[in-house]
Structure 1
């Protein structure tokens, strides 16, 4: 990466992390740690508006930049809307692109919540940080054009490599 921290537009528009960094000239390489169908945790099922025992894809990835691990992502995708999604190779396919091109779910809107968090052990290990190191954390719910919640994600970003900047107008 170039000197200084990258400033993806993740606080302005609903795009994937890869799209935001690519537009700044950075290349992210995904590493898939896990991709399998699981029952949704109860809080996630409630957020997505599905029954507690509903199956979902649980996709765990680390995105690497030239300076090392940049982001640790855990995505939950409704399996009822995306049959067979557990068979997609997410080392070469983008989640948003897959939802839109393969499953014809037009991603229309989302909600992101940002905070600063100390890296818990699995996050620290994935990002090559010491446990407790400050990371940028965001939770996201993604909605299709028909209003259905499609995906919930948790993202931890190495705060050494990126910062959040918003362009504001009055």
Structure 2
């Protein structure tokens, strides 16, 4: 249904902006990514409502990721954000994306043996400065669009055969477990909102200063020792994250 074929009921106690927002949501479901929605003026005239009311409805859908504004061009249906479950479930990136019906890909930007030279890496991997680690820098794609840039550090002494593998096609977690006989138990992740720096933004194909979700991960084996420390920068316009909370029982 086209939104300009719908009606708003001004007699019921439901805010006009909310009614319009839900009608626009239905319009989005029935149209394609990249299609424009009617202009603010068209919506005002059709529904007989004020411009601030129209803007409130549209702004809500922009904030939720359903619409995107293009200066001087209008407002368009946005590419749906990818819902990331990995704050709850520890799973490989490729498998999670395929389970969602998406096509993942990885480009390895760097793979080398180096030494621990930062306190942050030393602390999370419980290694002294100067210890040898494998450093990976990967750009990961979904449906040909860059989604996340990841720096990963792994203890070389626990993963001596890793450098010989093609990490554009093979799963890091599967190599840790199957190639090296180690068992991954859990991970700790922290999430914060940051802005994209110039080099990272260029790789992610976003404007410098755009919203980025920064996530640090420390992955642990069943013996309690850390096996991976990673830093990931997710495009804020493509990803969202799900949290599941349970009530603490006293």
- Note the C-alpha offset of 1:19: 2.7
- Note the C-alpha offset of 1:51: 1.6
Match of 1:149 among 217, 226, 236: 226
- Mapped to 1, the partners of 2:99 and 2:109 lie a distance apart of 25
- Mapped to 2, the partners of 1:17 and 1:113 lie a distance apart of 17
Q: RMSD across aligned C-alpha pairs, in angstroms?
A: 1.5
Query: SS of 2:163's equivalent?
Result: helix
- Mapped to 2, the partners of 1:159 and 1:63 lie a distance apart of 14
1:122 corresponding residue in structure 2 = 199
- Note the C-alpha offset of 1:67: 5.0
1:25 corresponding residue in structure 2 = 101
Match of 1:52 among 129, 150, 156: 129
2:169 corresponding residue in structure 1 = 92
- Length-normalised TM-score, structure 1: 0.93
Of residues 15-24 and 115-124 in structure 1, the stretch that sits farther from structure 2 once superposed is: 15-24
User: Structure 2: where are the runs of 5+ without partners?
Assistant: 1-32, 34-78
Q: 2:125 matched to 1:42?
A: no
Of residues 160-169 and 70-79 in structure 1, the stretch that sits farther from structure 2 once superposed is: 160-169
Q: 2:212 matched to 1:138?
A: no
Runs of 4+ in 1 over 6 A off after TM superposition: none
2:90 corresponding residue in structure 1 = 14
C-alpha contact 1:8 1:24 (8 A) present in aligned 2: no
Q: Which structure has greater helix proportion?
A: 2
- Note the C-alpha offset of 1:18: 2.4
Equivalences, count: 169
C-alpha contact 1:27 1:65 (8 A) present in aligned 2: yes
Query: SS of 1:7's equivalent?
Result: strand
Deviation track 1:77-103 (CA, whole Å, cap 9, x = no partner) reads 110101131221101111111101101
Of residues 107-116 and 41-50 in structure 1, the stretch that sits farther from structure 2 once superposed is: 41-50
- Length-normalised TM-score, structure 2: 0.64
- Note the C-alpha offset of 1:169: 4.0
